Homo-oligomer: A and B are copies of this chain.
Amino acid sequence: MPPRPPRRDDPVRQRSLRDHNLALVLRHVTAANRPPSRAEIAAASGLTRATVSTIVDELIAGGLVAELEPVSRSGVGRPGTGIVPAGTGPAGLGMEVNVDYLAVCAVDLTGAVRHRQLRRLDQREHSPAQTWQALAELADQAIAAVAALGLTPAGGVIAVPGLVEGDTIRIAPNLGWQQVPLPRPEDLGGLRDLPLDVANEATLAALGERHATGLRSFLYVSGEIGIGGGIVLDGELFGGSHGWAGEIGHVTIDPQGPDCHCGSRGCLEQYAGEEAIRAAAGLPTGAAVLTDLVEGARRESTPVLDALDRAGTALGVALSGAVNLLDIATVVLGGHYAELIDWLRPALERELSRRVITARWSPVKVRASALGSDAALVGAARAVTQAILDDPARFLATRTAAA
C-alpha cells in the first residue's frame, strides 16, 4: 500500500482545502485519547468552531465518526458532545501469508482488532493457487464476521514474506515462491469487489508498530526464518523506489563470510537468522519452534548464549550501518527477536555504541516490538484504515458514488 502521493505538484482549489481539513479533523478524533468535543477539536487544530462543526457534520453523514451520548462532564458551562471514530463504519482487512500459516484480521477506524483468525497451512507443501484459495475462504469468513458487527469492509492488504512489485511477487524465499502473480479477482471470493494490495510483511509490521507505539521514526527489524525490516520516517512508511526498502537481512557483515542462498557472502542472515542461530547453538534446525532456544537461554546453556551473543553482534554491526546512514534514534526488534531481546541486547548495544559515530551524543534506543508476531497482520489491516484516515474525502466520494 503506497503512501498517498504527495500533492506538492497538484493545483489546489477550494475543495482540496476542505479535503485537507476533513483529514485534519478526523485525525484529531482518532488520535485523541478521550473523545474530543467540537470545541476541543477547534482549539487543537487551529480551525474555528464554525468550520469544525460543518466538517464534523460531513464526517457524521459519511459514517466515519459518531456523536457520543451527551455525558455530563465535570466543569462549568454547556458540556460538549464527544466525537468518536464510528464503531460501525469501514473496516480494514489484513491478511498474512506466512511459511506455515495463513491469518486474517479486521480492524475498525480506531485501529481496534475486531476479528482475527488463523489457519495452519504449510505453503511449501502447496501451490500458490491453493494458498490463494484458502486465503479467500478465510477472507470470506472475515467479511461475514465483520458484517455481523455492523462494519463494512473497505479494502484489504496481504502481507507476504517476500519482494512485491506491482501485481507480482518477485521472490519469497521461505515460501519457495518466485515470480508468482497475484490471484485474479474472480478467484478471490468476497474480496473480489474490494481494493486489494500486497506488500512486504516486514514493511507492514513496521506500519503496525508505528500505530501501536506512536513512534515517529524508527527502524523495524524482524527476525524469523528470514530477516526482514521496515523503515518509518517521520510517521510515514518509507518504501524506496520500488517498495523494497528495509531489506536488512542481506547486508554484508563480513565480505569473506559464509555463502548465502541469495548469491552473496557474509549476509546478516548467515549470522542472525534463525537457522544460523540454531546451528551455532547446536540445536536441530528445520523446526520452526522457538521454545527450545528460549529455554536454552533461560537455562543459561553456554552454546545457546554464545550463539545469541554472536547473533547480537552481527545485528549490531548491520544496525550500526543503518543508523549511521539514516540517523534514526530507535530500533524496534520484532518477530522472534522480540522474545530473544534480553539475550541479544548486550552484544547489540555494545556494537551500536562502538560503531555509531553519533552514539556518544545521542545513544540509539533498542526496544522490543509492542505487537509481537501480530505486527504484520495488524499492520496490513491498518494500512487500509490509514488510507481512509489520510484522505477521508476520497473515501466519502466513492461511498456516495456507490449509493
Name A's B-contacting residues (CB within 8 A).
Answer: 6, 9-14, 16-17, 20-21, 24, 27, 45-47, 163, 165, 170, 217, 229, 231, 233-234, 238-248, 250-256, 262-264, 313, 317-318, 320-322, 324-329, 354-355, 357-358, 361-362
Contact = CB atoms under 8 A, between A and B. Distances in A.
Nearest to A251: B321
Which of A234, A357, A361 has the largest count of B CB atoms less than 10 A from its CB?
A: A357
A245 B262 CA distance: 28
B9 A320 contact: no
Contacts of A46: 10-11
The 9 closest A-B pairs by CB, nearest first: A240-B327, A11-B46, A244-B327, A245-B327, A251-B321, A264-B355, A12-B20, A247-B324, A11-B47
A250 B17 contact: no
Contacts of A165: 361
A244 B356 CA distance: 11
A293 B311 CA distance: 40
A327 B251 CA distance: 12
12 contacts: A9-B24, A11-B46, A12-B21, A13-B17, A241-B329, A241-B362, A246-B327, A247-B327, A248-B325, A251-B325, A263-B354, A264-B354
A228 to B, nearest CB: 11
- Each complex incorporates copies of this chain amounting to 2
A324 B250 contact: yes
Contacts of A329: 241
Contacts of A254: 254-256
A158 B188 CA distance: 58
A389 to B, nearest CB: 12
A327 B357 contact: no
Nearest to A358: B244
Contact of A362 (B12, B27, B233, B242): B242
Contacts of A246: 325, 327
A327 B241 contact: yes
Contacts of A263: 354
A263 to B, nearest CB: 6
A30 B87 CA distance: 49
A234 B7 CA distance: 13
Given A12-B17, A247-B324, A247-B327, A317 B229 contact: no
Contacts of A21: 11-12
